[in-house]
Amino acid sequence: MLARRQETRLVARLALALACHGALATTAIQVAVAQPGTGATKLIHKGAELYDDQQYEESIQTLSAALVRPGASIAERVEIYRLLAYDYISLKRTDEADAAVRGLYAIDETFRLPPTESPRFRDFFDSTRKKWDAEGKPGKAKGESAAAAEPAVKIQHQPPAEGVSGAAVKITGTIDDDGGRVRGVSLAYRTGTKGRFVAVGASYSLGQFRAQIPGGAVKPPLVEYYLEAIDKGGLPVGAKGDAATPLRIAVPNEGGGVFTSPWFWVPVGAAVVGGVIAGIVLGARSSAASNPGNGKSTSTVTVNIGE
């Protein structure tokens, strides 16, 4: 039932996108519906749901991931920019909202919001469109998409192999930006694998950036993070990792194991294959183990643990 509702919502959103920006998007939207497994479509769907739930920051993070994914169709990119604009308008972040609307018109200047849409959004889009027209339509696409006309932005960064619980992790790297679009770098991080990412600005100069994940966020078993190269409008033009596929840093417990229970520990580096931890040697705590001088020997066992 849930899957059916999600599919219905996605089709409805794509239908809205078709109504908004005309025949140009017809083929691309049909492809998106026919191939629901594409990375951009899944992220757009998730970002739209987060917007509907008023989780605007999480929606922005998800849609930004979609924006920097290669191979997105015109219809998908238009929908990403539209939803990003809605998020930013809802958060009263007008500069980013303006940049998102401009990005949309740059790839489809025929776009119009339907008259049934909230005046709050229609007025903002109309105002930005007038300014964009008066400025000579900067960034207007020549060809299939604006992104194709710009040199690629690449982030060069090697993730740290391991972190120390409670200690800040330095994040450094370089940016390849032949088009001169990058104005800053953002680092987003979180403890574990759930919850919203916290975004902070990185120091960026002459193609190099530096940032750090604060020690308070570095806790076992891991930290997730990603990097975005940001343009003058505050939108991402390149990324290393993203909210859907973040980079990870392992953070071992002080004792070297993943689990800290006195009855159960697993050494860091144990192989996990197909969701099964295979052949792990577990320490068996017993009276003998606690009192090695009583003449009894400790024992270890090897077990296979399924999900």
CATH code at position 34? 1.25.40
Euclidean distance between CA atoms 127 and 84, whole angstroms: 17
Same domain, 140 and 172: no
> Lowest mean pLDDT: which of 121-130, 173-182, 262-271?
262-271
End-of-domain residue from the set 103, 126, 148: 148
Rounded Cα distance between 184 and 205, Å, is 8
Least confident of 10-14, 166-170, 237-241: 10-14
Q: Is 123 helix (H, G, I), strand (E, B) or coil?
A: helix
What is the number of domains present in the chain?
3
- Closest by CA position to 99, among listed 70, 58, 67: 67
Q: Are residues 83 and 134 in the same domain?
A: yes
Q: Which two tokens stand for residue 44?
A: 């757009």
End-to-end, the C-alpha distance of the chain in Å comes to: 26
Q: What is the pLDDT of residues 227-238, one digit of tens each?
A: 999 999 999 999
> SS3 for 20?
helix
The runs of H, that is alpha helices, within 164-219 are: none
**Whether 204 and 165 share a structural domain:** yes
Paired residues of 23 in beta bridges? none
CA dihedral in degrees (85, 89, 91, 96; nearest 10)? 50
Task: Please provide residue 104's backbone torsions phi and psi, each rounded to the nearest 5 degrees.
Answer: -65, -50
Q: Is pLDDT above 80 for 84?
A: yes
Beta-strand pair 247-250/272-273? unpaired
Q: What is the pTM of this model?
A: 0.68
Q: Are residues 214 and 198 in the same domain?
A: yes
If asked whether residues 217 and 156 sit together in one domain, one would say yes
Task: List pLDDT tens digits, range 170-189.
Answer: 999 999 999 899 999 999 99
Q: Which domain holds residue 110?
A: 2-148
Same domain flag for 6 and 144: yes
Please list the alpha-helical segments (H only) found in the chain.
2-21, 26-34, 39-52, 56-67, 74-90, 94-107, 119-134, 146-149, 287-290
User: Is residue 237 within 8 Å of 183, Cβ to Cβ?
Assistant: no
Residue 279 and residue 224 share a domain: no
Average pLDDT over residues 241-259: 82
Collapsing DSSP to helix, strand or coil, 299 comes out as coil
Domain end among 148, 175, 204: 148
List the CATH number of the domain containing 202: 2.60.40.2840
pLDDT value of position 151: 77
Q: What is the mean pLDDT of residues 2-24?
A: 46
Contact 221, 89 (CB under 8 A): no
Tokens, residue 24: 């140009």
Give 175's strand partners.
155
Q: Which of 216, 235, 250 delimits the end of a domain?
A: 250
C-alpha closest to that of 284 among 270, 295, 300, 296: 300
Q: Residues 127, 161: one domain?
A: no
Average pLDDT over residues 190-202: 95
Is residue 171 located within the same domain as residue 135?
Answer: no
- In 3D, which of 93, 41, 2, 4 has the Cα closest to residue 244? 41
Examine the domain organization and report whether 268 and 168 are in the same domain. Answer: no
